[in-house]
Each structure stands twice: as C-alpha cells, then as structure tokens.
Chains A and B, each alone.
Chain A
Amino acid sequence: MKLAGLKSVENAHDESVWAATWIPATETRPALLMTGSLDETVKLWKSDELTLERTNTGHCLGVVSVAAHPSGAIAASASLDSFVRVFDVDSNASIATLEAPPSEVWQMQFDPKGTTLAVAGGGSASVQLWDTGKWKLIATLSIPRPEGPKPSDKNSSKKFVLSVAWSPDGKRVACGSMDGTISVFDVARAKFLHHLEGHFMPVRSLVYSPANPRILFSASDDAHVHMYDAEGKTMVAALSGHASWVLSVDASPDGAAIATGSSDKTVRLWDLSMRAAVQTVSNHADQVWGVTFRPPGGPGPRAGRLASVSDDKSISLYDYS
C-alpha cells in the first residue's frame, strides 16, 4: 500500500485550489478530475496527464465545493456567495442554479443513486436535500437545538455545518459542524438520529467507508481523524499524526485505506488494518485542501489514483496501489 507521485501541475489555478473531486467515467470518456478554486473557476482535468479539459467560469466568489453525480454526466460547484451551479459535464451547459442564503452552502455530495444532492447548510445548522430531477428542495435536515431556554443566535452559529456525507447505502446522511459534533440523519424519515462526539474543533470533512456502511471517517481541526461506528454511536479509532488541522479525508474505493490532507502541508495515507499512517507525502508547499480517490469503473487504466489540491495553486496526482 503506497502512493507514488505521477504528475503535478504547478499553478493549475491562479489562486488557491480549495476543492477537488473525481467525475466518474462514462461510456464515452474516462474519469475527470474537477477542481474548484479561489480564482472563481472550476477546472476539469484529464487523467493521467492532467491536461486541462475545460475551465468553467461564472462564480462571483471562490469555489468552496464541487460534487459529481455518480453517473458522471452532471456535476455541481458551489462558491462563497452560496450559489450552486449544476452543469452538464460534457457540454458545460448550466442545468440549474440553486440559490441559498449566504453562508449556507458548504460541502456538497450526491447520494449514491444520484437522486438527491445533500448540501451542508453552514449557518442554517442543517443539511439541505435537493431533488436532482426537478432541482427542488425536498427536505431540510435540521440539527435539533440544544436544550435550555431560548438559545441565542450565538449558540446556533456554533452549529455551523461544514461537511456532509452519504452512507454508501443512501440511507444515512452525516454532517459535521463547527463545534466538532457529527450529526447522523435518517434520510428516508428525514429524522435526526444522534450525535457522534469526540471532536472538539470544526469537522471539515466526512466520508463513509465504501466497504462498510456503518463506518464513518471524519477529519477535524483538532488534527485527528476519527473512525466512528455511525450506527452504534461509538468511536472506533482515533488516528493521530497530522501536525495541524485535517482539512480533507477520503476513503479508497477498496475500503482498505484512507487519505487525508492537512494544513501541515502533507498528504497522508492511512492503512486501516494497522490504523496508522503508512506514508506521508509532502510535495505541497501550502495547506492541502482536498484529497480524492478516483472511483473505479469506466474505460482506461484501472489502477487507483489519488489527487490532492492545495493552497499553493497546484494539483498532484498519485498512483495508489
């Protein structure tokens, strides 16, 4: 289990690169890497050479999040001004523009079937679920307010929702908040289930293990990656090693490893069987905002690929094996 550097693109964007995800391969083309940046553009890159496929413009502020539909046909990008642009990957035609009050769009993820887009709702302390057919808001999963007398606005801002993740079976949605709690919802009933506790600083990234729908990985500013049993409300393991905030986490398609990006400028690969970091890659010159594994499938090389993006404006591509 190791990462081997394949390609690195310096100055891939004009400004810090904040978000990255893989658009799954379709029948006509292989998987594409999609990156979003402070320079207000979204770029599509062809693997493995990382040649620039297209640059999408249209956002007024930095792009904080990108999400790809499991079919690989459509994708969404969100910027700081809380506009979500949904577009056709191949033609770049806008499909929908979802608008939310400012500060209420952060991380986004399509559900495994591709019928719903979950959006971490920031200051609204909720997760919005959008229907991907009509592009209508279908549900808002709110984190219940803590007990006690009428909570002040300050308290609700503590529940600022930063990250969101779908369980592989599509039944659960987990969201991470600024105060370190993770909330788990039952999608079908649109009901809050429980909190997962353990972090005490913002949880910026969440991912379910593709192998086990109960296992949830979380990355937090407290420099730890936690592994939870999302159903049993228990923390399975805490992975420590990063020297600073863990900004991003992704699980490998085989479910054997996770990768993390951190503001200590490194990318780490963790062996889940050993529950320890097996490799530290430090080719970025600034904090690493995103790590993402290429999903399997599609034509072209089948080998595992990991991409990482960073504030140093560069994109790196690794071979994962």
Chain B
Amino acid sequence: MHGDIQLNYAKCFPWIEDDENVEFDVETFHASILTWKQTCYLAATSAKKSYQRALHLAPWQANLYIDIGIASDLISSMNENYGQDQHPWQLSEKMVLGALLLEGDNYEFWVALGCLSGYNALRQHALIRGLQLDVSLAVAWAYLGKLYREEGEKSLARLAFDCSRSIDPSLSLPWAGMSADSQIRDMTPEEAFESCSRAAQILPVAEFQVGLAKLALISGSLMSSQVFGAIRQAVQKAPHYPETHNLHGLVCEARSEYQAAITSFRLARCAIISSGDTSKSCLQDIAVNLARSLSKAGYAADAVQECESLRKEGMLDSEGLQIYAFCLWQLGENDHALSVVRNLASSVSAMERAFAAASVSFICRMLYYISGLDLAVSSILKMPKEFLQSTKVWIVASAIHALDHSNRLALAVSSSQYSLLSHDEIIEKHYLTALANLVKHGSDYCLGFQSGISHVKNALHSYPNSNLLRNLLGHLLLSCEEWKETHVASRCCITEAPNCASKQGLKSGCEILGAGAVACYAIGNVDPKFSYPACGYQCLNGPGAVQELQKYMHQEPWNHRAQYLLILNLLQKAREERFPSNICVILERLILVALSNEFYSRESMSYQYQKFQLLLCASEISLQGGNIAGCIKHAKNASSLLIPNNYLFFGHLLLCRAYAAVDDYTNLQQQYIRCLELETDYHIGWVCLKIIESLYNVESDSKISVLSFKKCSKEWKKSLNMWIAVFNLVLGLIYLWKEEYFSAEESIAQACSLASSESCLFLCHGVACVRLARQFCSSDYLSLAVNSLTSAHANSVIPLPIVSLLLAQAEGSLGLKQNWEKNLRLEWYSWPPEMRPAELFFQMHLLSIQSESGFKTPSRVEFCQSSLKWVLRAIHTNPSSLRYWNILHKLME
C-alpha cells in the first residue's frame, strides 16, 4: 500500500516553476529539474523498498514481484542511461518472471512481462501468451499493437489496436495508437486529434499529452482548453523534455497569452541546453517561436535581438526573416526592415509552395506599409504570375489593387482569380471585390456603396448561406447614403444561428439587426394603440429586434456594443409607446451602467459618438420624465464632447427643447443660434429646428427656408424630394397652427406633389382643404379634399382612421349620400375597438337614423344596435360633450 502511494507520487510529482518572475537561466532551470528528478527518484526508490519489505514478509505473493518490477522499471527509466543497459536479465523483467513462476496462468503477469521486457521477441511472446490465456484481453492487444508499431509492422499494429479498442473502448493506448497511425489510416488530423485527446483523457500521461499538443498543432485546435490542460500537466510531468515546453509555448501563444508563451519558449531553450542535446534545428525552432511570441507580445526590440542572434548563427529562415522584418518595422527601422524584406524576397524562389505564398504576401504587405502603394504595386507586377495562384497572395494583391485608383493590377488580379477553388475562398474574394468597389467607385468623401451593394447582392445570389456576405450586405445597406434601404438591412442578416453573435466580417448579424431597427424610424409596432404604421416598407422586425438584442446581450454581457444597441432600440420603443415609465426607468439604469463603461473614456471617435448618443438618450428620458435639470445636464455634457458638428447639432437641439419646456427663452434663443452655426447634414435636424423656431417664435436674422434646407444636403439625390416634401409638410402644419389655411394648403399641396405615395401628406392636405372649404363654403376645396383623401386612402397600407370620416363629411357635403354612408362604415372598421372615439359612435347614430328611413340591411354595422344605444355609447365615452346630451334629450322625448 505504501509502495503504491509512493510509486504514484513518483510518477505524478509535478515540476513547478520556482518563481514565476525569476529570470530563468540555464543553471537554475537545470537545478530545478534535478531537484524534481531527485524527488521522483526518491519516491520511486522508496516505493521499491516498500514492495521489497512486503515481499520479504510474504514471498509467495506473486503480484508483489510485479510491483517491484514496475517500480524498478520506473527507476531505471529515470536513470540517464536508460536503454543502454545491456544486462541480459533486466531486473524488472526478472521480477516479472518470478511472478510468472508462481502463477503461470495469470494473464496479467504475462502482460506485465510484455510491457517490461526489453526484448521484442520476448514481449511479443509474453503478450501472445497472455492472449492465449484470455483472448479478450484488451490491454494485451493494445501493447501488442504498440510493439508491432515499434517494429514497423503497421498493419498488424493496426489490427491489434482495433481489436483492443473493440474489446474495451475505455483503454487509452489503442486510441493513442490510432492517432499515431493517422497516416496509414487515412485519418484527417481532426480525427487523429480526437482519438488522441480521448487517450489523454483516459490516461493523462505526459507522452499522450505531448502527442495531443502536436496533433493539435497540425489540426489547428491549439486553442482548445483540453489541449491547454493537457500540456500544462505534461509540463509538470515531463519538464526535462524541451518539446513539452515548446508545445506549451505554442499553446499559450495560440491562446494569446504571449507572456506565458515567452516563458515557455525560454524554458524550452533551457531544457535543450541542460539536456546537452544541442541540435541546431530544435534551438532554431524554439528561437523563432520565441521571437514570434516576443513580437506578438509587443517586445519588438527583444524579438529583434533574438533574430539577430539567430542571424549570427546563420539560422534565420524565412519565418525568422519575416518576424525580423516585422519587428524592425515596428521599431521604425524601415530601411533595415526593407533590406531584410529583400533578403526574404531573394529566398522565396527556393521555398516550398505554401510557405512561399505566405512569404510573398508578407513581402507585399511590408512593401505597402513601408514604401507605400506604388512600390507594392510595381513589385506585385514584377512578381512571377504563379504566385498569384495562391489564395493568400491573391487576397493581398487584390486588397492592394482595391486601394489603387489607377488600376495597374487589374489584369494580374483578374487573370488569376479563377484559381481560387474552395467555397470560402470564393466568398472571401467576393467580399474583397465588394470592398474594392466601395473604394473605387466612391467619390472623395463618400464610398461607392451602391456598386458594392450590387456586387454583394450578386454574390449572395450564388452563396445564399454565407453569413460573411450577408453581414457585409447588411452593413453596406446600413451605411449606404440616404438610408433608403435600412429596412432591408436587418432582413438580410441571419441572427438565428447559435453563433450569430460571433463577429464575421466587419459587423455581426445582431449588430446589424439592432442598428437597422434603430435606423428605421417606424419600429413597426403592431399594436395600433400607439401608432398606425404608415411606412410602406413594412419593416416588421421592430419588437423582435429588442428581444434579439436582449438575447445577444445575454450571450455576451461584456459586449458594450450590444448594450448600446439595446439602449437605442429601447429608446425607440419607449418613444413609440409615448415613454411609459417602466421602460424609462429601465433605460435610465441601463444608460447609467453603460456610461460607466471605461470604453467611453477613450478618445476614439466611435466611442465618443456612442457616448454622445447615450447622453442624448439619458437627456431625452429626463426630459420626458419632467426632470428638466437632468435633461439639461446630460445634453450639455453631450454637447461638450469632441465630435463633428454634424452630430453636435442634435445636442443643442435637445437643449432647445429642454429650455423651451421651462420657458427659458433667452437660453432657447442662444441654443437655436448655436444650432444654426453648427449646421448638420441631417434633414430631420433642420425639420425639428424649424418646428422649434416657429413654435416658440425664436427671433433670428436668418430663418430656415426651403432654400437653406436644400443647401444642407447636396449629396442626397434620391431622397431629397422626400425630405423637401417633409419640410413643406412642416411648413404647412405651422401655417395650420397659425390658422393661415391658404398658405398651409399651398405648402402641403407642394409636399404632396413631391412625394406622391405618402398617405399622411394627403391626409394633411385633405384636412387643410376641409378647413378651407368650411371657412369659405367652397365646393372647389371640397372636391380637392375628396381627391386628397381618396389618395390618402389608396396609398395607406392599412386603413388610416379619420381619412374615411373626413371623406364621408366632404362627400356628404357634396351631396353624395351613398358615399357618405359607405365611408362612415369604413371609418368604423379603421379604428381598433378599444380606441374608437365618442364622435364615431355619434356618427354611427347619425348613420343608423339615416338608414332607418330606407330599407334595413341587418348585416350593416349601424343596425347592430338602436340609434339610442349609439348615442348612449357616445356619451359614455365622452360625457363632457353637450351635443350628445342634447341629441339624447331629443331622442328620449
């Protein structure tokens, strides 16, 4: 028992780095390894002694012989000259024989002999003998497989491993054997990795773990935490083995823990030196790894030093050269870096294909960064064409091509694009081409979104399941000028997929969804309690967006962009629902949390802009909650940020509203003038300012006119008419408030002529006309009103309330009783039941009286109850109207 414990201790005693921060030199490393070995050795010896005591007491116990054998095998494996001992009767072997003499029919002993013996023939015999005793002995099969493998009998080994695995799948060795045989088995590296990881899980010994890390390197799964855990343990168990440290370093590097990686590589170097094995290639590998980690960790100077020492020994290969050049460039030694790049370039032709491609693309990039576009272009042109066949090079070349306005690379890039084969490569190509279109077809201050969008659309047609392209399309649609297509943006992104939040391309699907939902003013509320969706685009993802974003944020609580988008979407929702207090409270808290994020203290423009938006949200919430002081505080905060005037305008606009709310006209005046000074490209800003101007009679030298409005946005070609229409509508509304009906009608008519598909404009026009008609008893205006209202009715997606009522009145006034009746009925149905106003009931009463004189059609709505009931309901809904009471009196009499 004591022996067992000691033996396991000897096997498992971890090697621990003395102090993490101690500078490692070879001596201390060597010393620490020695102490570790010593401890293990002592434990093993003590185990052996314990077993001997036990054996001395009970020499007839056969298994004790085996125990001693195993322990002495372990001890001899710890000795340096393991395997060189040519003694014919190895101790461990002999002990096992002793056990076998006692119990010759014990197959476990045979297996033990098979493991411990030094002679392959004997081992094979022992294992087969064990199998004869028990054919389903998985362990024996496994060791037999290992033996055959060592002897090079791959197919036999494979057979044995398969046998073993089928008998007992929980045995680690066959799995390891399988992964080691991956080449003959036609396994992919992934499968090999899987089986090796199983082996390492079942039996975590250092050999399997190191093998696992190696396979991970091949199959590209260095990031996985299995590998990390395994290699950590391996470092503890086999610290004297340089490969362990090297792999540990690689794993750390893959996990972006560069400091740890650097330490590991240094340890690996120590291990090599202290083991006395100074094969140059190992040292070189480790030095290159070390240099790379150093450069990744930002120690460019150290990395350069590492590279230089390599160069002195003449072992700087192309990877080293790349690192060297990169670090020199980081240090600003451009000339030196260039010369290194030239060195590298001269050696490209001698390289392997894949490696050459990497080098070439690296050279191109370095040239671009150091000497600029022209030199990069010319060197690509000089380069042999076959390099462009490689995807990597092609991508770099086409990226440079995209930036090059003079199209010098067009031929080279287009001629070799057909060499791209894989699905992903082609998608990437499209991605890049789309971006290139953005750059090439854009003007100086605006990217060519349209051509980019059309390219992505085409590409998406061939690859409809590419998230990358989808997200790009969404992103482009969103950032496209004039925001004509924001409603489509969120539709083209997939957010259902489990990894939708993972960033592919520039923006993730969720981000685009959130941004798209905010960009669409009408959030697409389906509950008509709050608003009637008059937007023809039918962007119906609104409420869903808030939920999606909540999911997104739940997935990634640390993601400040998710938080930000959620806040904006919630504000949109709150605004649409007239700022219910529950949402406002949530928003206030969310904004407070978001603003405390340290990101927003950064200088970067995008963060400042986000902060600005958040502050405006906070301010808006305060304003709606009646907390004017808070509102002004937030808005002032926002206005003091360093962001373009374009946006800053809105901060001051909000200040205007805040001062207006407390009747502080002097400050209002100031802010108004500030807004005029700042100017903005955003029409909505001008529209709002105009409303404020007229509502509060702000005095200023230059009032906002249609002309000044037009001036602010030359870039807007497609949607300009729409915006002018909106502006005219606002002007018209202002006239309406001032009861200047003629001017109002004129402005709104103009608006209608500019945007002929907006039902709301026609409704307003109809209202103005009805007012005019009533004022002047003019049937001309009546017919105008009828026309407009009819258009409004025709253009709206769902029946807008009031349209039909006005139409009924107008047509009724023109004497068309049939139409009056019809429209009234329509009006009844265009209201949601709980929102029908008193007047509607009253009108229905009129309708029912009118119809009573004619013949009754019970199916009609007005006959569902008596006219008295209609009046009663009208009074019930609005008891304050004297008119209804009077009618009631009349009816009662």
Chain A residues positioned under 8 Å from B48 (CB to CB): 61
Q: Which residues of B contact A152 (CB under 8 A)?
A: 105
B84-103 near A? 1/0 per residue, CB < 8 Å: 00000101001101110111
- Chain A residue, CB-CB nearest to B94: A102
Q: Distance (Å) between the CB of A159 and the closest chain B CB?
A: 9
A102 engages B65 (CB within 8 Å): yes
Q: Given A80-B56, A81-B95, A106-B59 in contact, is the A153-B105 Cβ separation under 8 Å? A: yes
Residues in B with CB closer than 8 Å to A162 are: 59
Does A27 sit within 8 A of B, measured CB to CB?
A: no
Interface string of B51-75 (1 = CB under 8 A from A): 0110110011010010010001000
Q: Is the CB of A103 within 8 A of B68?
A: no
The answer to whether B49 touches A104, judged by C-beta atoms less than 8 angstroms apart, is: no
Smallest beta-carbon distance B270→chain A, Å: 33
* B103 and A99 within 8 A (CB): no
- CB proximity to A under 8 Å, residues B499-524: none
* B580 in the interface (beta carbon within 8 A): no
Contact of A123 among B53, B94, B98, B105 (CB under 8 A): B98
A101–B103 touching, CB < 8 Å: no
How far is it, in angstroms, between the C-alpha of A263 and the C-alpha of B557 when the chains are bound? 69
Known contacts A103-B59, A153-B102, A153-B103; decide if A62 and B95 are in contact (CB<8 Å). Answer: no
Whether the pair B91, A60 counts as a contact (CB closer than 8 A) is yes
Residue B626 is within 8 A (CB to CB) of chain A in the complex: no
Q: Are B97 and A102 in contact (CB under 8 A)?
A: yes
* Chain A residues within 8 Å of B98, by CB: 82, 101-104, 123
Q: How far is the CB of B353 from chain A (nearest CB, A)?
A: 56
**Does A280 make an interface contact (CB < 8 A)?**
no
Judge whether A122 is part of the interface by a CB distance below 8 angstroms. Answer: yes
Most buried by B among A80, A106, A162, A311: A80
The answer to whether B104 has its CB under 8 Å from any CB of chain A is: yes
Chain A proximity of B318: nearest CB distance (Å)? 53
Q: Are B102 and A103 in contact (CB under 8 A)?
A: yes
A126 to chain B, nearest CB (A): 12
Known: A81-B94, A102-B95. A123 touches B52 (CB 8 A): no
Q: Are A64 and B56 in contact (CB under 8 A)?
A: yes
Contact B55 A80 (CB under 8 A): yes
How many A-B contacts if CB must be within 8 Å? Answer: 77
Partner of B52, one of A80, A154, A178, A202: A80
Q: Which residues of A contact B53 (CB under 8 A)?
A: 16, 38, 62, 311
Chain A residues near B95 (CB-CB < 8 A): 80-81, 102
Q: How far is the CA of A15 from the CA of B49 in the complex (A)?
A: 9
Tell me which residues across on chain A come within 8 A of B68, comparing CB atoms: 61, 80
The answer to whether B103 and A157 have CB atoms under 8 Å apart is yes
Binary flags per residue of B536-565, CB closer than 8 Å to A gives 1, else 0: 000000000000000000000000000000
CB neighbours (8 Å) of A80 from chain B are: 52, 55-56, 68, 95
A61 engages B52 (CB within 8 Å): yes
Which residues of B have CB within 8 Å of A102?
65, 94-95, 97-99, 101
CB <8 Å contact, A61 and B59 = no
Q: Which residues of chain B are near A82, meaning CB under 8 Å?
A: 94, 98
Contact partners of B94 in chain A: CB under 8 A = 81-82, 102
Q: Are B101 and A123 in contact (CB under 8 A)?
A: yes
- For the complex formed, measure the closest distance between the CB of B337 and the CB atoms of chain A, giving whole angstroms: 62
Is there a chain B Cβ closer than 8 Å to A160's Cβ?
yes
CB distance from B160 to the nearest CB of A (A): 28
Q: How far is the CA of A38 from the CA of B97 in the complex (A)?
A: 21
Contacting residues, chain B, for A122 (C-beta < 8 A): 59-60
Q: Report the bound CA distance from A185 to B97 in whole Å.
A: 28
Q: Is the CB of B101 within 8 A of A62?
A: no
Q: Quick check: is A18 within 8 A (CB to CB) of the other chain?
A: yes
Number of interface residues, chain A, beta carbon within 8 A: 30
Please name the residue on chain A nearest to B87 by beta carbon: A60
Distance between Cα atoms of A62 and B55 in the complex (Å): 10
Q: Which residue of B lies closest to A162 (CB)?
A: B59
Shortest distance in angstroms between A63's beta carbon and chain B's nearest beta carbon? 10
Q: Does A124 contact B (CB under 8 A)?
A: yes
- CB-based contact B101/A18 at 8 Å: no
Which A residues are in CB contact (< 8 Å) with B101?
101-104, 123-124
**Nearest-CB residue, chain A, relative to B60:** A160
Q: Chain A residues with Cβ under 8 A from B52's Cβ? A: 38, 61-62, 80
Cβ distance B122 to chain A, nearest Cβ, rounded Å: 15
Q: Nearest residue in B to A39 (C-beta to C-beta)?
A: B49
Q: Which of A16, A61, A106 has the most CB of B within 10 A?
A: A61
Binary per-residue interface labels of chain A (14-51) against chain B in the complex, 1 for a CB within 8 Å, 0 otherwise: 01101000000000000000000010000000000000
Which residues on B sit within 8 Å (CB–CB) of A18? 56
A81 and B65 within 8 A (CB): no
Residues on A with C-beta less than 8 A from B60 are 122-123, 157-158, 160, 178, 202
A60 to B56, CA, bound (A): 15
Q: Which residues of B from 82 to 132 have beta carbons under 8 Å from A? A: 89, 91, 94-95, 97-99, 101-105
- Complex Cα distance, B275 from A299, in Å, reads 57
CB distance B102 to A101 under 8 Å? no
Q: A16-B53, A123-B60 are in contact. Are A103 and B91 (CB under 8 A)?
A: no
* A97 shortest CB reach to chain B, Å: 11
Report the Cα distance A139→B105, complex, angstroms: 28
A153 to B62, CA, bound (A): 11
A62→B91 CA distance, assembly (Å)? 12
B residues within 8 A CB of A153? 102-105
Q: Which residue of A lies closest to B106 (CB)?
A: A153
Q: What are the residues of chain A within 8 A of B56 when measuring CB–CB?
A: 18, 38, 62, 64, 80
Given contacts A80-B68, A99-B89, contact A123 B102 (CB under 8 A): yes
In the bound complex, CA of A64 to CA of B98 (Å): 15
Is A157 within 8 A of B97, CB to CB?
Answer: no
For residue B104, which residue of chain A has the nearest CB? A153
In the assembled complex, which residues on chain B have CB atoms less than 8 Å from the CB atom of A38?
Answer: 49, 52-53, 56
Give the complex CA separation of A15 and B103 in angstroms: 30
Q: Which residue of B lies closest to A62 (CB)?
A: B52
- Contact between chains at A160 and B49 (CB < 8 Å): no
List residues of chain A with CB within 8 A of the CB of B55.
80
In angstroms, Cα B68 to Cα A122, docked, is 17
Contact with A along B29-55 (1 / 0, CB 8 A): 000000000000000000011001101
Q: Mark A51-91, 1 if CB is under 8 A from B, else 0.
A: 00000000011101000000000000000111000000000
- Closest-CB distance, B56 to chain A (whole angstroms): 6
Complex Cα gap A154–B101 (Å): 11
Q: Considering the complex, give the chain B residue whose CB is closest to the CB of A64.
A: B56
CA distance A62 to B49 in the complex (A): 8
Inter-chain CA distance A64–B104, complex, in Å, is 24
Q: How far is the CB of B130 from chain A (nearest CB, A)?
A: 16
Q: What is the 8 Å Cβ interface bit string for chain A, positions 115-140, against chain B (1 contact, 0 not)?
A: 00000001110000000000000000
In the complex, what distance in Å separates the CA atom of A123 from the CA atom of B99?
Answer: 9
A81 touches B91 (CB 8 A): yes
Partner of B97, one of A16, A64, A101, A178: A101
Closest to A245 in B: B57
User: Shortest distance in angstroms between A220's beta carbon and chain B's nearest beta carbon?
Assistant: 14
With A and B bound together, what is the CA distance between A103 and B65 in angstroms? 8
Q: Tell me how far the C-beta of B89 lies from the nearest C-beta in chain A, rounded to whole angstroms.
A: 7
In the assembled complex, the Cα of A74 lies from the Cα of B55 at a distance in Å of 28
Q: What separation, in Å, do the CA atoms of A310 and B59 have in the docked complex?
A: 18
- Report the separation of the CA atoms of residues A154 and B49 in the bound assembly, to the nearest whole angstrom: 26
Alpha-carbon gap, A311 to B53, bound state (A): 9
User: 3 closest pairs, A vs B, by CB?
Assistant: A102-B98, A103-B98, A160-B60
Task: List 14 additional contacts besides A80-B56, A102-B98; criterion CB under 8 Å.
Answer: A38-B56, A61-B48, A64-B56, A80-B52, A81-B95, A101-B101, A102-B65, A102-B95, A106-B59, A122-B60, A123-B60, A123-B102, A157-B62, A160-B60
The 6 listed contacts between A and B (C-beta, < 8 Å) are: A18-B56, A61-B91, A103-B65, A103-B102, A104-B101, A158-B60
**Interface set of A (CB-CB < 8 Å, partner B):** 15-16, 18, 38, 60-62, 64, 80-82, 99, 101-104, 106, 122-124, 152-154, 157-158, 160, 162, 178, 202, 311
| Residue ranges of B at the interface with A (Cβ–Cβ < 8 Å) | 48-49, 52-53, 55-56, 59-60, 62, 65, 68, 72, 89, 91, 94-95, 97-99, 101-105
